[in-house]
Structure 1
Amino acid sequence: MTDLATPQQLADRTASAVEAAVAAGRELGLTVTDARVLHDVFSVVVHLAPSPVVARVPTVLPESTDLVSLARRQRDELAVTRWLADRGTPVVPPSPLVPAEPVQRDGFSMTFWEFLEEDRDAEPDYARNAELTAELHAALREYPGELAFLSAAEPHYVEIGLDRLEGRTDLIAPSLLDRARREWEVLGPLVRSRAAFEEAFPGVELRPVHGDCPPANIFQGVDGHRFADFELITLGPAEWDLASLGAELGAAYDRGAERNGLRPLDPRVQRFVDAVGMLRVVATLTLVPQLPVLADYLKPALEQWPAMPFAGGLDD
């Protein structure tokens, strides 16, 4: 591949994001003298020290995502996390030191969050986190804000991604791309239309869900766990938040669901969201030029895909 970002380009992108976050923070009245990068994958996450504020600056985005659509998504995230925090749900909340609005600067759109000390000795416990996801779903049930149906599936992104992968045999085999296109013909209409989904899965409740694998997005602070990264908050079935996590974590979620008065996962819906999730993985291959390490991250999922039922078995 000749279009992969070089190490220098990656470093320059990170530096630009940090500079934008520092400048924006200072304009908002924060004291920033010792900015420190906490994470740098899809977003550059910066502690604006000594202020107890963290800026999250998305840097690896599909070409179809512009600043307007990104800011709209960020406003949903800020609104839902503020609402949850006000009701005592353990989340990483927006910073109270600045307005809870996305800030655009130097081509970036960023949000600001309360700095929390991480428990660096804690080991990830994904079974526990899957159980906790049911607690989050119970808390979200009463959320009054309007959310788009399955926006986290990003159907426009999937469709553009499949088009962009045409001829990219360095990223995906033609046979797998063909399968992706044929699966999307089955799955796409159910992702785009709430009515079509409800006809295919009668009686399956739609509710606000985290949207981006909450068992993998629980921050372990020194004061306990916090739900984090609601960037893809959406209206959808509970199964969406357990997509592609397997039977063991699905069973863990069901234990939490029973404890919180929620329904267990529906196997048929689970196969549907697993299949849609896999097509999002395929579309994410288009981001490899921006973030070359993604190729290694996505490889295991792509290797497992041929063994999965075609389109979640919905073509039967």
Structure 2
Amino acid sequence: MTDFATPEDIANRTNAAKEAAVAAGRELGLEITEGKVLYELFSVVVHLAPSPVVARIPTVLPHTTTPESLAKRQQQELDVAQWLHDQGTPVIPPSSEVPRKPVQKDGFSITFWPFTDEDKSKEPDYVKNSELTADLHAALRAYPGELDFLSSAEPGFVREALTKLENHPDIVDPADLARAKQEWEILEPLVSDESEFRKAFPGIELQPVHGDSPPANIFAGTNGPLFSDFELITRGPVEWDLGGLGLELEAAYDRGATRNGLRTLDKEVLRFVNAVGAIRVIAYLSCADQLPAMVEFMQPFLHQWRDTDPYA
């Protein structure tokens, strides 16, 4: 792991992403007088004002990510968002102002989305969002695009990240890392090989799923909630989208599933996806050199994880 990024480094990275998005947008024919940063953490989101277009630029990425793998993932996101929009599902679709494909500029890979007004009058309702997630699953069942099995689990990255973290006891306690590696020995085959998953969980249907906790990625539009951020779209059990949310939100999803004629959540599959999700969180601490703040804001999760039973 290299030296940790300083606040100045992060500000420079954000500015470079903004400038790349502005330049790319202008090359595509958009009228842009300035780029306004709306959000920054793992990605930078920029309004290309005054055009009705927002650029999203991933900036904190696993060390295993290549330009090709990132572009493939972004294209899948654009394609599924457009397809859902065409079916009448409430989503933020790709921008219609530019071609529907990621654009490479100055070392960044950029996607373009419509500027959408946000309803900031109330706090997110995660119970409602969890129930709405079943609506998304019902819509996704018919998606015709080709998706890999549990690609959002990123097993290659997790394996390498856990090894990388052996040299950083300042980031992950060695006892925590030892437990994570032991559990990953059991979990990795189940996320890497569809046949192994099917042997472990017979009868569990696989389908397109959002991949990144849709209850936390529903945008509060002024005209109603909109599904968004399909960066980790994948094929897997519906439980993958409900990992780590707890009993109340699981019950809300089950209400939505019953309303849509879908099966309710399987407790053993949920236990599996919760375990995988926990190890992925730990693995992402290997990216702390890019975003040092994650070490502190992940501590409550680590304390909670230590109190859970190991996956066996």
Q: Give TM-score scaled by structure 2 length.
A: 0.98
- Quote how far apart the aligned CAs of 1:275 are: 0.1
Partner residue in 1 for 2:205: 205
Cα contact 2:19–2:35 (8 A) shared by 1? no
Q: Measure the CA separation in 2 of the matches of 1:76 and 1:191.
A: 20
Cα contact 2:133–2:253 (8 A) shared by 1? yes
Verify: 1:219 aligned to 2:205, yes or no.
Answer: no
Code of the residue aligned with 1:228 in structure 2: it is S
Verify: 1:180 aligned to 2:180, yes or no.
Answer: yes
Task: Name the SS for the 2:74 alignment partner.
Answer: helix
- Quote how far apart the aligned CAs of 1:153 are: 0.5
Verify: 1:100 aligned to 2:87, yes or no.
Answer: no
Partner residue in 2 for 1:29: 29
- Quote how far apart the aligned CAs of 1:15 are: 0.4
Deviation per CA, 1:50-104, whole angstroms, max 9, x where unpaired?
Answer: 1000000000001110111000000100000000000110111100010000000
Partner residue in 1 for 2:13: 13
Cα contact 1:122–1:220 (8 A) shared by 2? no
Deviation per CA, 1:167-207, whole angstroms, max 9, x where unpaired?
Answer: 21111111111101110110000010000000100000100
Aligned-CA RMSD value: 1.0
Cα contact 1:37–1:47 (8 A) shared by 2? yes
Matches within 5 A, 1:1-316: 3-311=3-311, 315=312
Q: Measure the CA separation in 1 of the matches of 2:298 and 2:228.
A: 22
Deviation per CA, 1:9-60, whole angstroms, max 9, x where unpaired?
Answer: 0100000000000000000000010221111000000010110000000000
Percent identity between matched residues is: 61
Cα contact 1:206–1:238 (8 A) shared by 2? yes
Code of the residue aligned with 2:31 in structure 1: it is T
- Quote how far apart the aligned CAs of 1:307 are: 2.0
Deviation per CA, 1:108-130, whole angstroms, max 9, x where unpaired?
Answer: 00100011111111211000000
Q: Measure the CA separation in 2 of the matches of 1:2 and 1:282.
A: 18
Q: Measure the CA separation in 2 of the matches of 1:163 and 1:59.
A: 23
Code of the residue aligned with 1:41 in structure 2: it is L
Cα contact 1:85–1:91 (8 A) shared by 2? yes
Q: Measure the CA separation in 2 of the matches of 1:9 and 1:49.
A: 25
Q: Measure the CA separation in 2 of the matches of 1:219 and 1:203.
A: 33
Unaligned runs of 5+ in 2: none
Q: How many positions carry a matched residue from both structures?
A: 312
Task: Name the SS for the 1:136 alignment partner.
Answer: helix
Q: Measure the CA separation in 1 of the matches of 2:78 and 2:103.
A: 12
Q: 1:257 to 1:289 in 2, by over 3 A?
A: same
Cα contact 1:135–1:257 (8 A) shared by 2? yes
Q: Measure the CA separation in 2 of the matches of 1:35 and 1:168.
A: 37
- Quote how far apart the aligned CAs of 1:292 are: 1.4
Q: Measure the CA separation in 2 of the matches of 1:165 and 1:12.
A: 26
Q: Measure the CA separation in 2 of the matches of 1:152 and 1:197.
A: 15
Q: After TM superposition, where is structure 1 displaced by more than 3 Å over at least 4 residues in a row?
A: none
Code of the residue aligned with 1:195 in structure 2: it is S
- Quote how far apart the aligned CAs of 1:295 are: 1.4
Task: Name the SS for the 2:61 alignment partner.
Answer: coil
Q: Measure the CA separation in 2 of the matches of 1:3 and 1:300.
A: 24
- Quote how far apart the aligned CAs of 1:2 are: 8.3
Cα contact 2:128–2:252 (8 A) shared by 1? yes
Q: Give TM-score scaled by structure 1 length.
A: 0.97
Cα contact 1:212–1:241 (8 A) shared by 2? yes
Q: Measure the CA separation in 2 of the matches of 1:293 and 1:137.
A: 33
Cα contact 2:138–2:260 (8 A) shared by 1? yes
Cα contact 1:36–1:48 (8 A) shared by 2? yes
Cα contact 1:239–1:265 (8 A) shared by 2? yes
Code of the residue aligned with 2:235 in structure 1: it is L
Cα contact 2:17–2:44 (8 A) shared by 1? yes
Code of the residue aligned with 1:201 in structure 2: it is F
Cα contact 2:53–2:112 (8 A) shared by 1? yes
- Quote how far apart the aligned CAs of 1:160 are: 1.0
